Amino acid sequence: MTDFGTRLARAIDERGRFCVGIDPHAALLQAWGLADDFAGLERFALTVVEAVAPVVGVVKPQSAFYERFGSRGVAVLERVIAESRAAGALVLLDVKRGDIGSTSQAYADAYLDPASPLASDAITASPFLGFGSLDPMFETARRHGAGVFVLALTSNKEGPEVQHARTADGTVAGDVLARLRALNADASPLGSFGAVIGATIGSSEEELDFNGPVLAPGYGAQGGTVEDLRRIFGSAARWVLPSSSREVLMTGPDVSALRDAALRGNDAVAVLGG
């Protein structure tokens, strides 16, 4: 079994660092001329998979956009995960789960255990019930060679009221990053436990190099640029995954146009590796 950090480093080397969000929200379905229903969801999501999963290193479906259609929507999500992985892309499932005890373990089993039809290469998680509440996810990820990306410095305007709150040793965000640094200690070439840090946070006084990957939403249509990523992350930018959905997805439904947009995105962020 190869751990997630090693597989991600290989994917970045072979396919690039650009992460494409597969987010079938209502406005995008409408822009494609599709109805906001199960049939529209299925056509949209699987067209995106066909276009981008064979050429990018990481895809990031947002679970909520599938869950809103009930069990049939979740069945489409299962296909998105399976078909993306079959095409060679790593799947980072954006679920932002965070709970305690047996419930945290159940989320881990649902998304990280290969026996589950929703099993992905990595998930996003919220630490704001206490970092230790995520232990079942970390332990399950280790057991199955998966990854976990923990919210640290998000770009939404409400985030700082929690993430910048002071602790005895610094800030909540700083504590999250320190805990991730400890989890990733001695990992090579890269730890399997990452952080979510927005491409539009402006700046940070925190130490952002923790020997793990960074998911950087907000790149592209939401305003984040390559220059922003270089300024925010410095030497740690080599392990940043700039994530974009609208910038790519608005070029559909033509498969070639979607693929070309994903490749352009990959080319644009390649400079972060050196």
- Reduced 3-state DSSP string for the chain: CCCHHHHHHHHHHHHCCCEEEECCCHHHHHHCCCCCCHHHHHHHHHHHHHHHCCCCCEEEEECHHHHCCCHHHHHHHHHHHHHHHHCCCEEEEEEEECCCHHHHHHHHHHHHCCCCCCCCCEEEECCCCCHHHHHHHHHHHHHHCCEEEEEEECCCCCCHHHHCCECCCCEHHHHHHHHHHHHCCCCCCCCCEEEEECCCCCCCCCCCCCCCCEEEECECCCCECHHHHHHHHHHHHHHEEEEECHHHHCCCCCHHHHHHHHHHHHHHHHHHHC
CA distance between the termini of the chain: 29
Q: Which residues pair with 94 in a beta bridge?
A: 62
Is-contact 84 59, C-beta < 8 A?
yes
Residue of 79, 85, 96, 238 marked catalytic: 96
Is-contact 203 231, C-beta < 8 A?
yes
| CA-based nearest residue to 22, from 246, 203, 205 | 246
Q: Is 96 a known active-site residue?
A: yes
Catalytic site positions: 96
